[in-house]
Amino acid sequence: MKHTLLLLSIAASSMLMSACGGANTSADEHASEQDATNTSAESSSWTIDTENSSIRWEGGTSGAMVYSHFGTINFKEGALSATGDKISGGSFVVDLSTINPQDNGYSEEHPASDLVGHLGSPDFFDIANHPTASFEVISSEGNDVNGSLTVRGITNPETIHVETMEMNPDGTMTAKGKLVFDRQKYNVKWAHYVQDVILSDNITLDFSIVAKKKG
């Protein structure tokens, strides 16, 4: 009887060790597959095509008289890196002297050039002393690209939400994204001269990027 119990105990132990060994093997195989997936994600480098890329800006008021101005501004230069289909690094520079209003809120008495001049003044972006703004990628998580935005020499963390991104057969990458930042954090602090009109703190940037693959 003791001999039988001993054999049964040995058999049960062997089965348990086999089951545990199988579980470990499965976990190891899963880890290996995950490592292989991570390793297989291709790294690539891209140069922003400044002529075919653009930024749409919009800012306005939030008060009794609600209106907004919008227009475009141009990239000066930029390069991005990607891992798989996600942006993982890079930076770009924006030329603030290219601010171009496109809304209809102007007249012969108050032309769009007046707004351009005001936006370039120390009330807003102080372009004479800070002719560019820039964004440097630090990390990405899902569809969000985290980085550092620099305006008027002041740098703060900001996030670009990537709405679409495609790697095309012709060796180009196209991407669209949005960034909303608080102008007060960058010393863009002009207050509207009409008391019942409050200039909104938020400025919205919509990016439309075309980039060419390096190499």
Residues 8-48: pLDDT tens digits? 344 444 444 444 454 444 555 544 454 444 445 789 999 99
The whole-number pLDDT of residue 198 equals: 86
Mean pLDDT, range 53-67, rounded to an integer: 85
The whole-number pLDDT of residue 144 equals: 98
Nearest CA among 202, 68, 62, 190 for reference residue 120: 190
Would you place residue 63 in the very low, low, confident or very high pLDDT band (cuts 50, 70, 90)? low
- Name the residue with higher pLDDT: 23 or 121: 121
Mean pLDDT, range 117-137, rounded to an integer: 97
- Report residue 48 as tokens: 């922003």
Q: Which of 50-64, 131-145, 174-188 has the lowest mean pLDDT?
A: 50-64
- CB of 117 within 8 A of CB of 108? no
The whole-number pLDDT of residue 35 equals: 45
- CB of 182 within 8 A of CB of 190? no
Q: Is 89 helix (H, G, I), strand (E, B) or coil?
A: strand
Global model pTM greater than 0.85 = no
Indicate the average pLDDT of the chain.
Answer: 85
CA 2 from centroid of its chain's CA atoms: 71
Q: Residue type for 114, please? A: D
Sequential DSSP letters for 54-73: EEEEEEEB-SSS--EEEEEE
The whole-number pLDDT of residue 39 equals: 42
Nearest CA among 83, 86, 89 for reference residue 40: 83
Mean pLDDT, range 47-65, rounded to an integer: 90
